[in-house]
């Protein structure tokens, strides 16, 4: 009976994720994206509050937070409500957070435990997948020069991912899965995560077996 209860719970969670994903894509198809041209060398390099945490807090009360609402919340929290450079930077960060949100729902369809948190984000890990008692990190990005440059900035500001946590760097390819004006990770990329986890697990199991054999001998 316990096995049946767990299976039903997992099926319910998968169904909820599927419904949330359909609702999210339907809303994204209608949402506009607008990017202000304002850039300031000071505000581009300034430390902002954790924008992922702000986004996910807004997402608690709506299917997808709108770009303007998100940018306004960030700038208000910084006491820079009417600062176009701050609003512009927050607006540029928004699509990446939407991609993270979307792929979070994708992974929840296929894995029993998918976690995101402020602490993980500060360590360069967007999502944490727990599979058969082991944790695996996933870092999401796009293969553009600006994304790579920003990744270098984040690398300087924050330490590497937590020690001993394997991390997969997963890239959303241009125009492979557009929804409205948004460039998202293709849902089938969950299979890349699955294959990578299996490969990491196999390697770790082999290393453990080799170590035990050497210890016994």
pLDDT of residue 4: 35
pLDDT of residue 213: 54
pLDDT of residue 41: 86
pLDDT of residue 1: 30
CA–CA separation, 159 and 177 (whole Å): 31
pLDDT digits (tens, 9 = 90+) for 141-170: 998 655 555 455 555 444 555 567 999 999
pLDDT of residue 77: 96
pTM: 0.83
Q: Tell me the two tokens of residue 188.
A: 């089938």
For 138-165, give one letter per residue: b (16+ CB within 10 A) or e: bbbbbeeeeeeebeeeeeeeeeebeeee
Positions of the chain with pLDDT lower than 50, given as ranges: 1-8, 150, 156-158, 210-211
Q: Tell me the two tokens of residue 65.
A: 């937070």
């Amino acid at each position: 009976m316990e096995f049946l209860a767990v299976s039903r719970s997992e099926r319910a969670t998968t169904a909820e994720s599927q419904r949330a994903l359909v609702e999210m894509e339907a809303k994204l198809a209608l949402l506009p994206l607008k990017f202000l041209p304002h850039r300031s060398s000071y505000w581009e390099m300034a430390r902002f509050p954790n924008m992922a945490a702000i986004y996910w807090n807004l997402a608690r009360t709506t299917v997808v937070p709108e770009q303007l609402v998100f940018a306004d919340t960030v700038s208000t929290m910084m006491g820079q409500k009417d600062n176009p450079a701050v609003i512009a930077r927050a607006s540029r960060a928004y699509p990446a957070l939407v991609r993270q949100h979307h792929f979070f729902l994708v992974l929840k369809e296929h894995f029993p435990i998918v976690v995101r948190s402020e602490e993980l984000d500060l360590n360069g890990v967007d999502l944490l997948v727990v599979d058969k008692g082991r944790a695996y990190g996933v870092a999401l990005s796009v293969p553009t020069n600006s994304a790579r440059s920003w990744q270098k900035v984040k690398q300087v500001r924050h330490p590497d991912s937590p020690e001993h946590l394997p991390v997969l760097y997963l890239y959303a390819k241009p125009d492979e899965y557009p929804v409205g004006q948004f460039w998202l990770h293709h849902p089938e990329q969950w299979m890349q995560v699955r294959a990578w986890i299996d490969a990491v697990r196999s390697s770790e199991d082999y290393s453990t077996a080799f170590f035990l054999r050497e210890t016994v001998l």
